[in-house]
């Protein structure tokens, strides 16, 4: 065992492209990955799934993974929406949400009346002309627009082709409002730090496995 490996106390794992490949029926597990997760946990290492998934609540995300044979729980997942909720509460922000329908429950306990920020996720079919104009109007109506973006991906692949990711829409709103979004999710350092804090380990005690870069 290499020297660095002996110091490792926990692992941060990407999920899509590492544990499973997305596809038609929610995806297929990558061969050996469920067994790897089992062995990691059996070894006493701490484990945390670090995902930019914003098309489902953590509950549903974990259900999907469990259905593929992964022994994981909601408490082992770090995702942008809960991290954003933490920021919203901390700063007294009331979001106007432009997110996927399936993500909305993550914000159930957040006050959304009289919004003073916009939270943007991969809204997919909710990225309509009307919804984009509405989010824009909320932002431009603020003295100092606050735009929180759940990730900044450019695009991703689904079975029916490539799709623009949240980052593209983030750029549209940034330009229209002359504002810079606060990105919550990978690759934000703060996002990784909260994952570490939740695991209770230090950065130098972790190992993060990520797949080969597939997109710009």
Bridge-based pairing of strands 77-78 and 46-50 is parallel
Residue with Cβ nearer its own copies (77 or 123): 123
Give the shortest CB-106-to-its own copies separation in angstroms: 21
Residue with Cβ nearer its own copies (7 or 140): 140
Residues of span 137-166 touching its own copies by CB under 8 A: 137, 140, 154-155, 161-165
Give the shortest CB-27-to-its own copies separation in angstroms: 20
From 20-28, 103-111, 175-183, 194-202, span contacting its own copies (CB under 8 A): 175-183
Long-range (24+ apart) CB contacts under 8 A made by 173-179 are 173/118, 173/120, 173/132, 173/135, 173/136, 173/139, 173/147, 174/147, 176/136, 176/139, 176/140, 177/136, 177/139, 177/140, 177/145, 177/147, 179/139, 179/145, 179/146, 179/147
Give the shortest CB-102-to-its own copies separation in angstroms: 16
- By CB atoms closer than 10 A (0-12, 13-18, 19+), residue 44 is exposed
Give the shortest CB-126-to-its own copies separation in angstroms: 8
99 binding its own copies? (CB under 8 A): no
Tokens 């799709």 belong to: 163
Residues lying near its own copies in the complex (CB under 8 A): 124-125, 127-129, 132-133, 136-137, 140, 154-155, 161-165, 167-169, 171-178, 216
């Amino acid at each position: 065992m290499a020297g660095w490996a002996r110091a490792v106390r926990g692992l941060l794992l990407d999920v899509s492209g590492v544990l499973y490949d997305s596809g038609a029926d929610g995806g297929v597990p990558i061969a050996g990955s469920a067994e790897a997760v089992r062995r990691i946990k059996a070894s006493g290492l701490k484990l945390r799934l670090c995902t930019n998934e914003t098309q489902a609540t953590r509950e549903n995300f974990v259900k999907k993974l469990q259905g593929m044979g992964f022994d994981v729980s909601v408490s082992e997942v770090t995702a942008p929406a809960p991290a954003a909720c933490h920021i919203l509460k901390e700063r007294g922000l009331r979001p106007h949400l432009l997110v996927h329908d399936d993500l909305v429950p993550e914000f159930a306990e957040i006050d959304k009346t009289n919004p003073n920020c916009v939270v943007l996720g991969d809204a997919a079919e909710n990225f309509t002309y009307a919804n984009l104009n509405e989010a824009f109007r909320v932002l431009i109506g603020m003295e100092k627009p606050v735009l929180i973006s759940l990730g900044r991906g450019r695009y991703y692949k689904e079975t029916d082709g490539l799709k623009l990711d949240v980052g593209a829409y983030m750029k549209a709103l940034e330009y229209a409002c002359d504002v810079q979004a606060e990105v919550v999710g990978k690759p934000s350092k703060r996002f990784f730090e909260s994952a570490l804090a939740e695991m209770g380990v230090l950065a130098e005690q972790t190992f993060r496995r990520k797949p080969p870069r597939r997109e710009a």
